[in-house]
């Protein structure tokens, strides 16, 4: 079995008169000398996509899981100045602005002065604002954060577009004097569950951590990405209007992702970015479920799957050269869609083409996926239609699959 050998940088020579503190400083420098490597990581890709989309992100995880380290490395990789603000040690006025009385408040009003860290962000013009320990912030501080997270305003100061906002929180059960997140604040974030990966941690402690990089967006795919995102969300909400706004009943669930017009708008943005970047379905699942919740998110993913299935009419037009989905569930749904298309407009030519497509599916995928479509298609035969040769080629696979199903059923019955 292969073992991982961490690399150790060479020691620099020390002067004979070096003090023990100098030696300790050199040892600390060696321990901090780490490097990064490109490595597939769904959570890290989801985080960078949300950051690229300029949406506030909230990382949920137990203490010590590496949320702060991930944000520090993200800022370094993106070459963004990192500004860390511990939300729980601030007063509401630190986020809403400190009132400053001028010479003539009756005429000039009382301006709300921003804190120094906000001024530095504006001066830089770009940066990563990290709101740490969000779940230990009092309800009053959470209320003051609403305008900062959504409108990027602190007092009378507007943060520049180059500033991204990421927050981190511990579950209430493991937070120091923790509070549940208020529903209005929670609904402004993309929620990502942050857990550790054993292999990543071991390799990182050896000196090599995964590198966070912004996604590569394909300029040619941008219009199609926006169209796909809008069609998916609008199509689902058109048939499931109850999902447009669903405030959870429990306080705990209100502090997480839930569907609202605001979070659906964020979802459109994330689908477009994930599509333009060619991200995997797992990454898209993290983003969607982290924005509108597990239930609505899974419904949207299923809707996207149906949207992305090949057009049955195009498959029937050229069955011998048809490109069928690789994933089993999507392939079976495609074949069943073809059979439904033949059932809707039956003809001998379309029936024969469907059989040819089933043969194509048999040659390029698992045989058991054609059993149900073949059985349904056979029942559509009209008396004057001749039996095509394709049925003979499928008969063996269907028979073997049915015998296997009966064997499994017998084994289950015998084991009871």
The domain segmentation of the chain, as residue ranges, is 21-99+110-210, 219-307, 312-415
Residues 16-44: what's their mean pLDDT? 84
What pLDDT, in 10s, does the model give residues 169-225? 988 666 556 688 899 999 999 999 988 788 888 888 888 888 777 789 999 999 999
Residue 191: which H helix or E strand, with range?
strand 190-193
Instruction: Write down the pLDDT at residue 14.
Output: 55
Residues 247-262: what's their mean pLDDT? 92
Instruction: Write down the pLDDT at residue 107.
Output: 63
**Buried-exposed string 309-323: b where 16+ CB fall within 10 A, e elsewhere:** bbebeebbeebeebe
Residues 28-50: what's their mean pLDDT? 87
Per-residue pLDDT band for 48 (boundaries 50, 70, 90) equals very high
Burial category of 379 from C-beta neighbours within 10 Å (exposed 0-12, middle 13-18, buried 19 and up)? exposed
Q: Are 212 and 174 in contact (CB under 8 A)?
A: no
Please state, in angstroms and rounded to a whole number, the distance separating the CA atoms of residues 42 and 300: 19
Instruction: Write down the pLDDT at residue 406.
Output: 46
Q: What is the 3-state secondary structure (H, E, C) of 280-328?
A: CHHHHHHHHHHHHCHHHHHHHHHHHHHHCCCCHHHHHHCHHHCCCCCCH
**Residue 105 vs residue 215, higher pLDDT:** 215
Per-residue pLDDT band for 46 (boundaries 50, 70, 90) equals very high
Per-residue pLDDT band for 150 (boundaries 50, 70, 90) equals confident
Instruction: Write down the pLDDT at residue 402.
Output: 47
Residues 128-156: what's their mean pLDDT? 89
Report the range out of 113-122, 210-219, 261-270 with the highest average pLDDT: 261-270
The topology (CATH level 3) of 21-99+110-210 is: Rossmann fold (3.40.50)
Per-residue pLDDT band for 361 (boundaries 50, 70, 90) equals confident
Q: What is the mean pLDDT of the chain?
A: 84
Instruction: Write down the pLDDT at residue 396.
Output: 62
């Amino acid at each position: 079995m292969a073992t991982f050998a961490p690399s150790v940088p060479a020691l620099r020579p020390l002067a004979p008169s070096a003090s023990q503190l100098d030696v300790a400083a050199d040892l600390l420098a060696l321990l901090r000398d780490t490097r990064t490597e490109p490595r597939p990581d769904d959570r890290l890709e989801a985080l960078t996509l949300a950051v690229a989309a300029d949406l506030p992100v909230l990382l949920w995880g137990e203490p010590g899981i590496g949320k702060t380290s991930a944000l520090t490395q993200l800022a370094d990789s993106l070459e963004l100045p990192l500004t860390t603000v511990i939300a729980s040690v601030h007063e509401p006025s630190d986020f809403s602005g400190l009132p400053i009385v001028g010479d003539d408040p009756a005429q000039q009003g009382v301006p709300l002065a921003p804190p120094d860290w906000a001024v530095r962000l504006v001066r830089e013009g770009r940066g990563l604002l990290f709101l740490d320990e969000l779940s230990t912030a009092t309800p009053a501080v959470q209320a003051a954060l609403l305008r900062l997270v959504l409108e990027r305003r602190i007092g009378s100061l507007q943060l520049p577009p180059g500033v991204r906002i990421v927050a981190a929180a511990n579950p209430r059960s493991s937070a120091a004097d923790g509070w549940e997140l208020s529903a209005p604040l929670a609904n402004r974030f993309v929620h990502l569950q942050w857990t550790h990966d054993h292999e990543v941690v071991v390799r990182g402690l050896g000196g090599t951590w995964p590198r966070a990089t912004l996604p590569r967006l394909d300029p040619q795919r941008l219009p199609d990405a926006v169209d796909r995102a809008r069609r998916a969300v609008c199509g689902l909400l058109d048939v499931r209007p109850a999902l447009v706004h669903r405030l959870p009943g429990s306080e705990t669930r209100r502090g997480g992702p839930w569907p609202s017009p605001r979070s659906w708008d964020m979802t459109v943005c994330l689908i477009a970015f994930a599509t333009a970047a060619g991200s995997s379905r797992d990454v898209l699942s993290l983003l969607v479920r982290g924005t509108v919740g597990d239930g609505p998110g899974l419904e949207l993913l299923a809707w996207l799957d149906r949207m992305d299935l090949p057009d049955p009419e195009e498959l029937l037009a050229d069955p011998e050269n048809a490109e069928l989905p690789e994933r089993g569930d999507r392939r079976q749904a495609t074949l069943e869609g073809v059979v439904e298309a033949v059932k809707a407009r039956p003809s001998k030519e379309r029936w024969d083409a469907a059989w040819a497509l089933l043969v194509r599916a048999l040659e390029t995928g698992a045989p058991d996926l054609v059993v149900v479509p073949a059985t349904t298609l056979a029942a559509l035969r009209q008396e004057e239609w001749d039996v095509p040769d394709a049925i003979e080629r499928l008969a063996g696979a269907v028979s073997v699959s049915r015998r296997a199903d009966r064997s499994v059923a017998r084994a289950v019955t015998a084991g009871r």
